[in-house]
Amino acid sequence: MHNYGRRCCLIVIRKIRPTVILSSSFSTLIKPSPCSNLQTIFKTEFVKRDFYKSANNYNSVVYQSREEQDAIDNEKLENLLKHNDNEKIYKLLKYELEYLEQLGEEIPKKLRPKDWIYLLKAPTKSQQRKYLRFLFLNEMKERNHKEKKKVTKAESIKEFQEKHELFPSGLTYGLGKNSFFLRFYDKTMDHFLHYNVISSMLFEPKIVFDCSYDDMMAQFEINNCARQLVLSIVLNRTHPTPSHLYLCNAPKNGRLIRKLSHLVPTVLQDNFPLDITAKSYLDIFDKDKLVYLTPHCRTVMKSYDPDKIYIIGALVDKRDPKHFSLAKAKKEGIRMEQLPLDTYLTWGSGRGKSLTLNQVLAILLDIKYTKNWIATLYKNIPPRKLEKTKVEDDHSQIYVKSKNK
């Protein structure tokens, strides 16, 4: 009798139990039919808003492989060698490299076509020697990196085999071993950070990098500038309040963008949270809102205005520093300002006040976030450029004395 009563209760509960369907905010709305009962389950089709296209979609990317770049540079080299003077210089360079290699000098074993083009165009012998030493050091770094990878791989295999012998089941309990926490993969973090930048593009102010200085930089300056742009992109997407970055006057076949796409192969894809355009900022934005940041003007930036669009010149001028950004801003009739470095900082004697692109961007992002110039500048300016206070000198002397003891 008791079992019969329990069975009847279960049947009644099962009949009147409602069915709760949880759906995403992106699900399509399907109305149930009037003749449906509570046990009918309506499956909704999930509509995925994928901000990231397939990684294999390279239709909009102009990134070239190493072989394709060498083929293009080889054609340029052949065109250069059609002139008799260049052909003579090319043969002399070959003989000189063979002679230096026999003497045991620091010469790279293999030269790419772009390296021969640089050597042919180098105006002096000292620049040729410096470039050859630069290529030799890069070659040695690559060789050492490959050897370290082999050693690391062998050590990891050995360590795995030892752990497998100690714990055949694979379960090891302790700090840094089996854990209840899920692993965050690099791809997952990339998606999260990219979504953070994409959502900020709707509301945060815009910052422009002016990439119109290709012809004014040597190749090593182009490489340095591209690395600083990579650091700027990484800094922006990891900041609490990232800005909407624009690279203007940046044709995709330019030297700077080609080097940038070599460092970040996905940067030219449509789903990458960065606007790269060959157009000028004058064609995109209102001229009255533009402010060109240059250290050579007289107007000092007093506060950050979120309604303004600040322009940073993507220029590295180590060889021949000139006031290129000042001249361009004057020519285009754009308002100019300089960061208040001398207002809040005491610079050391003989220290340069030049800042990298990522340091300037970090100052703009932090002053927008904190509204505190002192905290922002002391955070982003390298301490070696500033004058040490008496307290810092005393601390450093005490540290040196204690270390010598």
Which positions are annotated as active-site residues?
317
Q: Is 129 exposed, middle or buried (0-12, 13-18, 19+ CB in 10 A)?
A: middle
Question: Taking the CB of residue 119, how many other CB atoms lie within 10 A of it?
Answer: 19
Question: Taking the CB of residue 85, how many other CB atoms lie within 10 A of it?
Answer: 9
What are the φ/ψ torsions at residue 290 (nearest 5 degrees)? -85, 140
Q: In what helix (H) or strand (E) does residue 313 lie, and over which residues does it extend?
A: strand 309-313
Alpha-carbon separation of residue 136 from 101, 132, 227 (angstroms)? 12, 6, 21
Q: List the Cα angle 233/239/244 in 5-degree steps.
A: 55
Q: Is 356 exposed, middle or buried (0-12, 13-18, 19+ CB in 10 A)?
A: middle
Question: Taking the CB of residue 215, how many other CB atoms lie within 10 A of it?
Answer: 7
Residue in this structure with the two tokens 């060698």, named with its chain if needed: 81
Residue in this structure with the two tokens 């204690």, named with its chain if needed: 402
Residue in this structure with the two tokens 């205005």, named with its chain if needed: 305
The residues, ordered by sequence, that sit 6+ positions from 48 with a Cβ below 8 Å of its Cβ are 26
